[in-house]
Homo-oligomer: A and B are copies of this chain.
Amino acid sequence: MENPIILDGRKVAQDVKDRLKPRVEYLKKKGIHPCLATILVGNNPSSATYVRMKGNACERLGIRSKRIHLPEETSTEELLHVIHELNEDHSVHGILLQHPVPAHIDERAAFEAIHIDKDVDGVTSIGFGQTAFQFGRYPSCTPAAIIQILDYYQLPIEGKYAVVVGRSPILGKPVSMMLLNRNATVTTCHSKTKNLPEIVRQADMVVAAVGKPNFIKGEWIKDGAVVLDAGYNEGNIGDADYETCRPRSSAITPVPGGVGPVTISMLLKHTVDAAEAKLAGQTRHVSNA
């Protein structure tokens, strides 16, 4: 293609945040100060950076950021205790546990301990199931960001053939379900996939969610395909090779400035949604609630 649309995530994120501002003000008038609790375990520098970015983004929007930093040697039990306290804390509307946690911690147990009503980052199995069954409130933020970008730029999803490269619980699996629920035909690929280039070559829409720098090559991209790069590797490098994918695509997300900023805005939106749900005293049919 001559001039692909460069999908500007900063613009999409700003639009989301502009629409959140009055909602935050209204909540405060009603005496509810939206609050996201972030948990960072250990001293992984990039995790520390991500968590700080998220906390700062909250505060710029008037959302309270309750920042919890636990030492590297924190045990699973200690982390679960902190999460249970935040589940009980009525001043906290959303809980984000920064991934990854140190290897000695049972990360899945920690994610599962987050109450569904505060799972604004969309990491629990019940949240995933509700998203897949189309009554979830807070889908995982990166998949939600990808849908938000497509909708902002009015790129159709229904009837398209989407190939998702990656199958993680917070990215590949939920984005596959969300695209499927929007009536795309979806193939989910992974490290055991044979003939990956041939499969990607058929896609109207490619989601790169594999966590390997420049993994998706331009020659794999069908002319006019939409490329959504959820990768964020060291040195601001995406999972799709931007220079070779861009000229083949009709629209593409850059890295940085693509999916990343929108992901954070989705976290803010879910936190405001959660505070509003509390104001409305909403309850849902949830197993074991």
Binding site for B on A (CB under 8 A): 106, 108-109, 112-116, 119, 124-130, 132-133, 135-136, 158-159, 161, 167, 169, 173, 176-177, 180, 183, 185-190, 192-194, 199, 285-289
A190 pairs with B194, CB closer than 8 A? no
B285 pairs with A113, CB closer than 8 A? yes
A287 pairs with B161, CB closer than 8 A? no
A194 pairs with B185, CB closer than 8 A? yes
How far, in Å, is A96 (CB) from chain B's closest CB?
Answer: 15
Q: How far is the CA of A274 from the CA of B31 in the complex (A)?
A: 46
B288 pairs with A126, CB closer than 8 A? yes
A287 pairs with B126, CB closer than 8 A? yes
B199 pairs with A185, CB closer than 8 A? yes
A188 pairs with B190, CB closer than 8 A? no
CB-based closest 9 A-B pairs = A129-B129, A125-B129, A183-B192, A187-B187, A126-B126, A128-B129, A185-B193, A109-B285, A112-B285
| 17 A-B contacts (beta carbon < 8 Å) | A108-B285, A112-B287, A115-B287, A119-B287, A124-B287, A125-B126, A125-B130, A125-B133, A128-B133, A129-B130, A129-B132, A159-B192, A159-B194, A161-B194, A176-B188, A180-B188, A186-B188
A287 pairs with B288, CB closer than 8 A? yes
B190 pairs with A116, CB closer than 8 A? no
Nearest B-chain residue to A174, judged by Cβ: B132
B-chain residues with CB within 8 Å of residue A113 when the two chains form the complex: 285, 287
Q: How far is the CA of A125 from the CA of B112 in the complex (A)?
A: 14
B-chain residues with CB within 8 Å of residue A286 when the two chains form the complex: 112, 126, 288
A180 pairs with B167, CB closer than 8 A? yes
How far, in Å, is A169 (CB) from chain B's closest CB?
Answer: 5
B-chain residues with CB within 8 Å of residue A130 when the two chains form the complex: 125, 129
How far, in Å, is A107 (CB) from chain B's closest CB?
Answer: 11
B-chain residues with CB within 8 Å of residue A173 when the two chains form the complex: 132-133, 177, 180
B185 pairs with A185, CB closer than 8 A? no
Nearest B-chain residue to A80, judged by Cβ: B285
B-chain residues with CB within 8 Å of residue A161 when the two chains form the complex: 194
Q: How far is the CA of A159 from the CA of B195 in the complex (A)?
A: 10
How far, in Å, is A259 (CB) from chain B's closest CB?
Answer: 22
Nearest B-chain residue to A185, judged by Cβ: B193
Q: Which of B126, B133, B183, B194 is A169 in contact with, Cβ under 8 Å?
A: B133
Nearest B-chain residue to A288, judged by Cβ: B288
Q: Which of B132, B192, B199 is A125 in contact with, Cβ under 8 Å?
A: B132
Q: How far is the CA of A132 from the CA of B106 in the complex (A)?
A: 18
